[in-house]
Structure 1
């Protein structure tokens, strides 16, 4: 039986499904919800800033605010189901941040949402695949 479950979320339906799954399947576990904002992602930097350092700082701040709002949303969803969750907002590359947090926080199970809805079609380099390979605890991909 898992004691501490980590659910990594973003703003996709897949991560919402993973969160709902964790609430239903682990009723007695502590659930921590992690959102990772990667301010160094090349698409984020280029699309948001056109290379401008000032615009990048503003965009990164806005990205963190969106992450905080997402975590408030999942906290509210959990409360609607009579549950409390812990939330964490981290900067970094998602796979490494997820695996590192799980190790540091004594997590014994990870739950992730697959964006294409199929764990069997995970592409090379996907967050789910990378986390599943690197994690030292079981990983459920919803």
Structure 2
């Protein structure tokens, strides 16, 4: 029986399904909902700001606010189901940040959603969920 479940979310239906799964399947566990924003990724930053250093702070603030909205939505959904949850917003490369957070916070089960439905895509490119499963010794459920 899992005592502490970490659910990594973004703004996808897959992560919402993963969160709903965790709420249903782990009724006795403490659940932490984690959103990771990678402000250091050069493609994300350049695509969003055109590479302008002056716009970086605005870009980061907007994305942190978006992350807080996602965590607020998760908290509301859990409350509707009578479940308290903890939330965390972290900045960094998603896969490593999720793995490190789980290791540092006594997590004994990870639940993540996946966008990839194609076996070919998973084998050739992988995804954050697949990478997390490969990089941690903690059991991972991919929804």
Q: TM-score, normalised by structure 1?
A: 0.95
Aligned residue for 1:122, secondary structure, equals helix
Aligned residue for 1:59, secondary structure, equals helix
User: Alpha-carbon deviation of 1:126?
Assistant: 1.3
1:141 aligns with 2:142: yes
Segments of 4+ moved more than 4 angstroms? 117-121
Q: Paired residue for 1:106?
A: 106
In structure 2, distance between residues paired with 1:125 and 1:118:
10
Aligned residue for 1:111, secondary structure, equals strand
In structure 2, distance between residues paired with 1:17 and 1:74:
11
In structure 2, distance between residues paired with 1:58 and 1:20:
32
Q: Paired residue for 1:76?
A: 76
For the Cα contact (< 8 Å) 1:14–1:117, is it kept in 2?
no
Structure 1: stretches of 5+ with no match in the other structure: none
Alpha-carbon RMSD across the aligned residues, in angstroms, is 1.5
1:17 aligns with 2:17: yes
1:89 aligns with 2:92: no
Q: Paired residue for 1:115?
A: 115
For the Cα contact (< 8 Å) 2:95–2:132, is it kept in 1?
yes
Structure 2: stretches of 5+ with no match in the other structure: none
User: Alpha-carbon deviation of 1:125?
Assistant: 4.0
User: Alpha-carbon deviation of 1:120?
Assistant: 8.3
For the Cα contact (< 8 Å) 2:116–2:127, is it kept in 1?
no
User: Alpha-carbon deviation of 1:42?
Assistant: 2.5
Q: Paired residue for 2:28?
A: 28
Q: Paired residue for 1:43?
A: 43
In structure 2, distance between residues paired with 1:83 and 1:117:
30
Aligned residue for 2:137, secondary structure, equals coil
Q: Which moved more, 1:61-70 or 1:43-52?
A: 43-52
User: Alpha-carbon deviation of 1:117?
Assistant: 4.4
